[in-house]
């Protein structure tokens, strides 16, 4: 195995729950106890929750989806926008109430909010009933903190410096069919509005050999799909000086022969022609790219520190469309960044009209404490922000529907993931282009890639029939 920097790579061994002494009889302490795990935020957090779940299971806990039945509550939080933050504090209120009835309930808060400036002191002062606070750099401290929680009033361990690069982590994964695989931690881009480089630290790429080994293992276990995760996957390897980059990683992963490879998120600035060529070359690399635009105005893009302008984005977009047949491209857009004028917003709409994205996540700008943009006067009124968001969503949804309608009566390959929760006579899955599709049919197709005829297209999903 080739580790680029052994000092940085911390290896975990089988069933390593990272406790100081292995003298504990976990079964005697936690057997029969239940945990409730709630995850906010992006795929990165959902994948971290799969690590948390593994630790809790090794300790002897079993999962419950009912807060009221739990003995341990873990909130894995997100800090990307103010409303994410508010939701967590709202939920803490519910937990506080429950703790009044259930004195032994252990309440733990982890994730990006724990890393946010001021949150730890806010919890210390206003939420003394929270037992454990752990950060994104020390998820593996959680088992030890749970074991010790009674010894301390509040057990808080949040590292402000970025952690190691972890290899060989064990997960209790959500799915047996499709798996997330971290290829890097943190982010170096420091877009001026974004809190992620502060909550997740600087970029640290995992060793290429270790990633490939993990994926080979997943394939052996029967997984059909992997999604490579990173805040900026195209910058993979840049911090390692090992001479490999994202295209090399993609190529090695494609050669493992796993059926489907996806990756999020792509940053336009680091997207090279060679990467596009590799995506186009391998059939098992899915023709789907999430390519955040954020704004179509050069002036705002500069204020956001995004490192590309409208023309560069469009050039990249067109290259991808030309080289990768039937590719679908989705995006993220922020409206109401400080100083955004109607003209700036029209530039954003113009890019949407040109690109006709398959779909887009759209957000109202939310100032985050500690980020450079939070020092710029937030001078666009909430009314204007809301009105722009609504106008943008109308256009975005129109193109989503148009793109989807074009698929009607076509036959597509679908990886079927599970039963439809609302309708047991249906199953759902995703097309190669990452479109959600509900299919008439039984459970026998779950975990398979099947041909499906699209019978009806909507803005946010498709309906299909097995053929
Ligand atoms: N690493 C990814 C995105 C991470 S956050 C990238 O660079 O594209 C997901 C999305 O949240 C971002 O693309 C952005 O559109 C949005 N976002 C991030 N910070 C925000 C803020 N302060 N206010 C509103 N939206 C924000
Ligand atoms: Fe945030 Fe920018 Fe990094 Fe994405 S690339 S996580 S938006 S700083
Ligand atoms: Fe939120 Fe942290 Fe992801 S802030 S979006 S959970 S990296």
> What 3-state DSSP class applies to 3?
coil
> What 3-state DSSP class applies to 52?
helix
164 within 8 A of 10, measured Cβ to Cβ:
yes
Residue 141's pLDDT band (boundaries 50, 70, 90)? confident
76-108 in b/e form (b: 16+ CB < 10 A) is: bbbbbbeebbebbeebbeebeebbeeeeebbbb
Is 194 a pocket residue for ligand 3 (Cβ < 6 Å)?
no
- What angle do helix axes 246-255 and 208-221 make, rounded to 10 degrees? 30
- pLDDT (average), residues 328-337: 98
Q: Which of 432, 1, 447 is nearest to 212 (CA)?
A: 1
Question: Which ligand 2 atom is the nearest neighbour of the CA of 231?
Answer: 6
Please list the helix, strand and coil fractions of the chain in percent, rounded to the nearest 5, in that order: 40, 20, 40
pTM of the model: 0.95
Ligand with smallest separation from the Cα of 79: 3
β partners of residue 185? 204
Say how far apart CA 428 and CA 398 lie, in whole Å: 23
**pLDDT tens per residue, range 378-390:** 999 999 999 999 9
β partners of residue 180? 227
Is 80 a pocket residue for ligand 3 (Cβ < 6 Å)?
yes
Ligand with smallest separation from the Cα of 80: 3
**pLDDT tens per residue, range 186-243:** 999 999 999 999 999 999 999 999 999 999 999 999 999 999 999 999 999 999 989 9
Q: What is the pLDDT of residue 346?
A: 98
In this structure, the dihedral spanned by the alpha carbons of residues 140, 146, 149 and 155, taken in order and rounded to 10 degrees, is 30
Q: What is the pLDDT of residue 421?
A: 87
More confident call, 143 vs 236: 236
Please compute, for residue 102, the number of CA atoms within 13 A of its CA located in the half-sphere on the CB side.
17
Q: What is the pLDDT of residue 359?
A: 97
| Atom 12 (ligand 1) nearest CA | 332
Q: Is the pLDDT of residue 153 over 90?
A: no
- pLDDT (average), residues 132-144: 91
Say how far apart CA 9 and CA 3 lie, in whole Å: 7
Task: Return the percentage of the chain with pLDDT > 90, whole number.
Answer: 81
Question: Which ligand 2 atom is the nearest neighbour of the CA of 188?
Answer: 3
Average pLDDT, the chain: 92
Residue 154's pLDDT band (boundaries 50, 70, 90)? confident
The length of the chain, given as a count of residues: 467
Q: Which of 115, 232, 223 is nearest to 183 (CA)?
A: 232
> What 3-state DSSP class applies to 199?
helix
Residue 5's pLDDT band (boundaries 50, 70, 90)? very low
360 within 8 A of 404, measured Cβ to Cβ:
no
Out of 64-68, 241-245, 274-278, 389-393, least confident range: 241-245
**pLDDT tens per residue, range 308-320:** 999 999 999 999 9
Q: What is the pLDDT of residue 18?
A: 57
| Atom 7 (ligand 3) nearest CA | 196
Burial of 260: CB neighbours in 10 Å, binned 0-12, 13-18, 19+:
buried
Q: What is the pLDDT of residue 149?
A: 83
What single string gives the DSSP state of each residue in 386-416?
Answer: HHHHHHHHHHHHHHHHHHHHTTTT-EEEEEE
138 within 8 A of 103, measured Cβ to Cβ:
no
420-451 in b/e form (b: 16+ CB < 10 A) is: eeeeeebbbbbbbbbbebbbebeeebbbebbe
Q: What is the pLDDT of residue 116?
A: 92
Q: Is the pLDDT of residue 24 over 90?
A: no
Say how far apart CA 144 and CA 130 lie, in whole Å: 16
Pocket test for ligand 3, best of 112, 162, 264 (most atoms within 8 A of CB): 112
Q: Could you tell me the CA-to-CA distances from 463 to 336, 380, 410, 428, 435 in Å, in that order?
A: 35, 40, 12, 9, 10
Is 368 a pocket residue for ligand 1 (Cβ < 6 Å)?
yes
- pLDDT (average), residues 95-114: 94
**pLDDT tens per residue, range 394-439:** 999 999 999 999 999 999 999 999 999 888 899 999 999 999 999 9
Out of 51-55, 333-337, 409-413, least confident range: 51-55
């Amino acid at each position: 195995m080739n580790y680029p920097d052994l000092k940085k790579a911390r290896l975990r061994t089988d069933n390593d729950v990272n406790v100081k002494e292995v003298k504990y009889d976990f079964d005697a302490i936690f057997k029969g106890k239940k945990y409730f795990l709630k995850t906010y935020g992006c795929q990165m957090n959902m994948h971290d929750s799969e690590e948390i779940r593994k630790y809790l299971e090794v300790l002897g806990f079993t999962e419950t989806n009912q807060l009221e039945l739990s003995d341990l509550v873990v909130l894995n939080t997100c800090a990307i926008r103010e409303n994410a933050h508010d939701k967590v504090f709202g939920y803490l209120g519910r937990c506080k109430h429950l703790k009044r009835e259930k004195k032994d309930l252990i309440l733990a808060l982890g994730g990006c909010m724990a890393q946010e400036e001021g949150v730890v002191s806010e919890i210390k002062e206003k939420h003394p009933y929270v037992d454990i606070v752990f950060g994104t750099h020390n998820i593996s401290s959680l088992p030890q903190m749970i074991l010790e929680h009674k010894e301390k009033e509040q057990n808080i361990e949040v590292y402000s410096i970025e952690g190691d690069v972890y290899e060989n982590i064990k997960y209790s994964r959500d799915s047996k069919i499709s798996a997330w695989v971290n290829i890097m931690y943190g982010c170096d881009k420091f877009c001026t509005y974004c809190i992620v480089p502060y909550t997740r630290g600087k970029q640290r790429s995992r060793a290429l050999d270790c990633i490939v080994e993990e994926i080979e293992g997943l394939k052996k276990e029967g997984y059909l799909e992997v999604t490579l995760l990173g805040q900026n996957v195209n910058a993979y390897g840049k911090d390692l000086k090992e001479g490999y980059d994202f295209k090399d990683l993609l190529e090695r992963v494609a050669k493992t022969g796993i059926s489907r490879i996806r990756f999020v998120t792509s940053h336009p600035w680091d997207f090279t022609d060679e990467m596009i060529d590799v995506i186009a070359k391998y059939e098992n690399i899915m023709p789907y790219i999430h390519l955040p635009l954020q704004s179509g105005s050069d002036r705002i893009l500069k204020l956001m520190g995004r490192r590309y302008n409208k023309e560069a984005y469009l050039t990249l977009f067109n290259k991808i469309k030309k080289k990768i047949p039937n590719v679908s491209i989705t995006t993220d857009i922020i409206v109401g960044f400080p100083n955004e004028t109607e003209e700036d917003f029209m530039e954003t709409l113009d890019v949407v009209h040109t690109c006709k994205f398959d779909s887009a996540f759209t957000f109202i700008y939310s100032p985050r404490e500690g980020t450079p943009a939070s020092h710029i006067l937030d001078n666009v009124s909430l009314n204007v922000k809301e009105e722009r968001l609504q106008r943008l969503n109308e256009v975005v949804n129109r193109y989503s529907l148009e793109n989807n309608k074009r698929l009607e009566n076509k036959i597509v390959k679908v990886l079927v993931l599970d039963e439809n929760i609302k309708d047991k006579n249906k199953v759902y899955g995703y097309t190669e282009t990452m479109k959600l599709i509900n299919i008439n049919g039984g459970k026998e197709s779950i975990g398979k890639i099947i041909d499906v005829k699209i019978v009806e297209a909507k803005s946010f999903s498709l309906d299909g029939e097995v053929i």
